[in-house]
Structure 1
């Protein structure tokens, strides 16, 4: 599912909201999740999962084309841990 499909589904389930309102709501939710993660906080959506960041140390990588060593800086990367309810719904049967 892509963002526009999510907006369409939310708009369909909430006919009292305009498409512009739904787009604003979805954008606000994604912006707030992004802002929380960028400031080092964790975002938990009960029944769905939790978003957080993990630190990656600086390392020496390799250019796959030439094989030369390349310095890779330390960075933070997003991490998602699915919730129990989501895992159970995915593994029914």
Structure 2
């Protein structure tokens, strides 16, 4: 929740800076870049935490969403599981 509050503050600050830039007061134009980077940092942390919570939730499930599965090559994904490799055929 605190991350979302920080994000709102940064977005308000950014909109204020953009308005001052449009008016023509160029005193704080260089601060726009740092505020945008702060927004990106907050969003990165928020998305990482959200994805980690989803991974915990789907860890015990049989099927996982595509974006939470391991990113392997197609050959590795289609390969037999270790249990299937050891199974004896009749």
**TM-score, reference length from structure 1:** 0.33
Which structure has more relative contact order (CA 8 Å, sep 6+)? It is 2
Task: Tell me which structure has the larger Cα radius of gyration.
Answer: 2
| Bigger strand share | 1
